[in-house]
Amino acid sequence: MLKHFLALGALALLAAAPALAQGPTMAAADPAQWVDPRIGTDSKPSLSNGNTYPAIALPWGMNFWMPQTGKMGNGWAYQYAADKLRGFKQTHQPSPWMNDYGQFALMPLTGKPVFDEDARASWFSHKTEVVEPNYYRVYLADHDVTTEIAPTERAARFRFTFPKTDSAYVVIDALDKGSHVQVLPQQRRIVGYTTRNSGGVPQNFKNYFVLEFDHDFTSTALYQDKTLAPAGTLDVTANHAGAIVGFKTSKGERVNARVASSFISPEQAVLNLNEIGNQDLDAVRQAGRAAWNKVLSRIDIEGGSLDQRRTFYSCLYRSLLFPRKLYELDASGKVVHYSPFNGQVLPGYMYTDTGFWDTFRSLFPFLNLLYPEVSTEVQQGLANDYKESGWLPEWASPGLRSVMVGNNSASVVADAYLKGIRGQDMNVLYEALTHGANNAGPMPAVGRYGVEYYNKLGYVPYDVKINENAARTLEYAYDDFTIYQLAKALGRPKKEINLYAQRSQNYRKLFDKESGLMRGRNQDGSFQKPFSPFKWGDAFTEGNSLHYTWSVFHDVQGLMDLMGGPRKFVATLDTVFALPPVFDDSYYHGTIHEIREMQIADMGQYAHGNQPIQHMIYLYNYAGQPWKAQYWLREVMNRLYLPTPDGYCGDEDNGQTSAWYVFSALGFYPVCPAVNQYVLGAPLFPKATLHLPGGKDVVLNAPQNSDANRYVNQLTINGQPYDKNYLTYEDLLKGATLDYEMSATPNKTRGTTPDAAPYSFSTPKK
C-alpha cells in the first residue's frame, strides 16, 4: 500500500492506527491484502478497462461508498485519471451504463463553506489513497483534511482529520431530482432523503439517511437548489437540498460521524445505525476486514506471482459484490424489504443490481458452488420479485429495467436448484419461468420479446423490426433447455418436459450451411442478406456472428455436427483467433467501445471484453483438442487481466468477467449452467484449495505449474487417472484432490476420445 504523506502531527496519528494500515503480509489468513478495488477504474465511455469504481463495502452489502471524481449524475463517478474529488458518495450503481439510484454525498471543507460541487472539489493524489475493500483514506490537499471511511452493510463510519481552524465544515449533498435535509443541532444529527434514480423505481421511492456527529455544530447552513436558505433555516425540501455544518478544530482533531440509510423509512435508517453501535472507525474497519477475509478465504492460493495473486483476489472481490442486498432487518430482527416494484414494505429477502445476460454465465454458478447460503437468499428474493411484479427481472436496478436480451432468469433459477440450493418456493419460481418463457413482458427486456414468432417459427425473424433477433433466438433456445432440465428435476408432466426439450433445439434454425455460422433469418425462411460475419449488432447483441455462433451452451455436439464434425468445428474456433480484428460498425453508426476493446486486444476476432464469447475457448474440449483450450486460456489470463487501473479488457459487469478469471485460474468453468459439469482448462497456480461450505475441500495440485508449463500432461483425481475433459458438481461436493502433471508441451492423446467430451443435449448419456 502507498503510504499517506502527511505533516508530522498527522503522521503521529497514523502511527496509532490499527495494524491493517501497514503493508501486505504473507499471511494466508488475510487474502484481503491482495485486493485493489481500483483495478479497472481507468475507464471512460469510449474505452472500458473495466468501468469499475472502488466499491468500499461489505460482501453483497446494501450500500457501497466511493470517492467521487465525476460530476453529479455522471455514471463514470470515479475515474483514475481525474485530479479532484468532489465528495464521498453512497452508491448503488451496478455499472456506469445503468447509473445510480438513492445516492447522496459528504464532503469535508476548510475555509469558505461552499456547497457547489465544483467549488468544493479538492486536488488529491493516488499516492495518498489507501484503498481496501472495506476501508478508504485520502488526503484532500485544498482543504488539508484526511477522510476515512469504514462501512457496514447499511451504515458507515466516517473520520475527518482537520487542521487547526474555526472554519471546518462537512457538506451533506442530497443531490437533485427531489431531496430533503433537516438539521437537528441538539442531537448533532442530519436527516433527510434523496429520490435520485435512473429508473426502475415506484413513485414513492426514497433513500432516507441519517448522519450523527460526535461534535457540536458551530454553524449550520442549508441550501435549496444551490441557493443559501435564510439564516436559522433547519429544514428544506427542494429539487436539490443540502446542508453544511461547521466545527472548530485543533490541529489533527478528528470529527467522527455515523451514517446510515434505509429505503423503508427514516426510523429504519436510525435503526440501521445499530450496525455500528458504539464502535469507532478502527473497530468497524477491523470487522469489515474480517468479513471480507471470511468470504475470500474460501479459496486459498499458493504460489504464483505477486501480480497473479493480486489479480486473482481482486477478481474474487469483484465476484462478491453483486447482486446487492436490498433487504433490511426491522426492529424485531425480521427480514423485510422495500419493493422496487410496488413501493410496499414486505417480508422476505430481495437482491438487486445485476444483469442476468452477463451473470448467468459464471457469476451465479460460482455463487452456487462456493457461497450457497447467499444463493438461497437470492432465490428467495427472485420468488418475491415475481410475486410483486408479475415477472422475473432480466436486469434489475433496483426494479425491472429494459436492457439487453434473453430470458436468462431461467438459467439462474434452474442452475441454483440443480446445484442443490433449497429454501426457495419452487412452485412460484417454476411458474415464473414458464410465464416468462411464453409471454412478452411490459418492456422488451422482460419476458420474451418476439415470443409469438419464436413459439410459432422456432426463431425471432430478422425482418419484423425486432432488434438483435438472432441473439434472442439463441438465448431463448438455451433458456428453454434450462427449463427442460428443471422440469425433469421437479417431475413435471412428460408433455411439458418434451416441449422445452424440443424448443431447446431451435438454435438449429439459424445455422447457415453456406457460411457455417449463425445468421439472421426472415419470416419466409430465407436468411438475411447481405450477410457479414464481421457485422456487429443488427441480428446480434454487442457482437457479431463469429461471437454468437458459439451460444449453444447446451448442445455443443449438435453445433459441431451442423458444422460438419470436429475438424471443421476446431478450424472455425481457430479462425476466431487467426482473423484480423476487422469490423463493421454500421449498425451503431460508429465504433462502440466493445468493438474498440476487441480491436486493440491483439487476439483477432476474440472479444473477451464482452460476454457472448467468454465460454468459447472451453469448446475445444468437446472436439477432443483440450490442449488448445489450455493454451488460449493462459493467454487470456496473462494478457487481458492485470492488477492495474486498466486491468480489464472491457466492462467488468457485476462480477461476470471477474468470475470467469476466478474459475479459469482454478482450472474449470461452467460452460452450461443447469448441467452439473464444469469443463476443464488448466490451473494457473501451483496449488489452490476450495473450502466448500459443506466442510469438504477441493485441492488442486499442480506443482510444476509455470508460465511455460501451461499444458496438462496427466490428471489424477483422488489418486485415480482421469482423462475426461470435465468435472462433475457431485464429485467436487464430496471433496476431491486433483493432481496435475503440467508440461511445456501439449499432450495430444489425453482427452481426445468422444467419451471424454462434456455433456451435450445430442449425446445426453455423457
- Grid cell 414458464 is found at 434
What average pLDDT does this structure show over 319-326? 98
Share of the chain above pLDDT 90, in %: 96
The predicted structure's pLDDT at residue 483: 98
Q: Give CA separation, 38 vs 50, 146, 310, 644, 681, in Å.
A: 10, 19, 12, 8, 28
The predicted structure's pLDDT at residue 19: 36
DSSP, res 567: H
- 354's grid cell: 445485476
User: Whole-angstrom Cα distance, residue 665 to residue 685?
Assistant: 7
Contact criterion met (CB below 8 Å) for 612 and 737: no
Evaluate if residue 22 carries a pLDDT over 90. no
Output the CA angle 397-466-431, nearest 5 degrees. Answer: 55
- 703's grid cell: 506443482
User: Whole-angstrom Cα distance, residue 253 to residue 17?
Assistant: 14
Per residue in 623-679, pLDDT (tens digit) is 999 999 999 999 999 999 999 999 999 999 999 999 999 999 999 999 999 999 999
Model confidence band, residue 279 (pLDDT cutoffs 50, 70, 90): very high
The predicted structure's pLDDT at residue 304: 96
What average pLDDT does this structure show over 407-428? 98
Q: Which of 133, 33, 115, 38 is nearest to 80 (CA)?
A: 38
Buried b (16+ CB within 10 A) or exposed e, 645-659: bbbbbbbbbbbbbbb
The predicted structure's pLDDT at residue 28: 59
User: Whole-angstrom Cα distance, residue 23 to residue 3?
Assistant: 9
User: Whole-angstrom Cα distance, residue 617 to residue 633?
Assistant: 7
Evaluate if residue 27 carries a pLDDT over 60. no
Cis ω on the peptide bond leading into residue 133 (within 30° of 0)? Answer: no
Contact criterion met (CB below 8 Å) for 517 and 473: no
Q: Give CA separation, 461 vs 467, 509, 512, in Å.
A: 9, 11, 14
On whether the 31-296 domain is CATH 2.70.98.10, my answer is yes
Q: Which residue has the higher pLDDT, 1 or 266?
A: 266
The predicted structure's pLDDT at residue 647: 98
Q: Which residue has the higher pLDDT, 2 or 421?
A: 421
545 exposure class (CB count in 10 Å sphere: 0-12, 13-18, 19+): buried
Evaluate if residue 29 carries a pLDDT over 90. no
Model confidence band, residue 226 (pLDDT cutoffs 50, 70, 90): confident
User: Whole-angstrom Cα distance, residue 366 to residue 531?
Assistant: 37
Q: Which of 121, 223, 124, 102 is nearest to 172 (CA)?
A: 223
The predicted structure's pLDDT at residue 765: 63
HEC string of 242-267 equals: EEEEEEEECCCEEEEEEEEEECCCHH
Contact criterion met (CB below 8 Å) for 481 and 761: yes
For 173, phi then psi, to 5°, come to -110, 110
Q: Rounded to a whole number, what is the distance in angstroms from the first to the last CA of the chain?
A: 49
Contact criterion met (CB below 8 Å) for 416 and 426: no
Share of the chain above pLDDT 70, in %: 96
- 667's grid cell: 482450472
What average pLDDT does this structure show over 578-602? 97
Per residue in 50-76, pLDDT (tens digit) is 999 999 999 999 999 999 999 999 999
The predicted structure's pLDDT at residue 20: 37
- 246's grid cell: 461547521
What average pLDDT does this structure show over 372-395? 98
Amino acid type, 286? Q
What average pLDDT does this structure show over 438-447? 97
The predicted structure's pLDDT at residue 764: 65
- Grid cell 431447446 is found at 504
What average pLDDT does this structure show over 523-534? 98
Q: Give CA separation, 312 vs 307, 316, 658, 662, in Å.
A: 8, 6, 8, 6
The predicted structure's pLDDT at residue 252: 98
Evaluate if residue 466 carries a pLDDT over 50. yes
Buried b (16+ CB within 10 A) or exposed e, 694-712: eeeebebbbeebeeebbbb
Contact criterion met (CB below 8 Å) for 518 and 548: yes
The predicted structure's pLDDT at residue 451: 98
Evaluate if residue 748 carries a pLDDT over 60. yes
- 272's grid cell: 440501521
What average pLDDT does this structure show over 176-184? 98
Give me the chain's average pLDDT, please: 95
Full-model pTM = 0.95
User: Whole-angstrom Cα distance, residue 378 to residue 129?
Assistant: 34
Per residue in 668-713, pLDDT (tens digit) is 999 999 999 999 999 999 999 999 999 999 999 999 999 999 999 9
Per residue in 499-515, pLDDT (tens digit) is 999 999 999 999 999 99
For 257, phi then psi, to 5°, come to -140, 145
Collapsing DSSP to helix, strand or coil, 422 comes out as coil
Per residue in 604-629, pLDDT (tens digit) is 999 999 999 999 999 999 999 999 99
The predicted structure's pLDDT at residue 5: 28
- 402's grid cell: 429494459
What average pLDDT does this structure show over 171-181? 98
Evaluate if residue 16 carries a pLDDT over 50. no
Torsion of CA 53, 54, 58, 62, to 10 degrees: -30
Contact criterion met (CB below 8 Å) for 165 and 253: no
Evaluate if residue 1 carries a pLDDT over 90. no
Collapsing DSSP to helix, strand or coil, 667 comes out as coil
Evaluate if residue 14 carries a pLDDT over 60. no
The predicted structure's pLDDT at residue 64: 98
Evaluate if residue 12 carries a pLDDT over 70. no
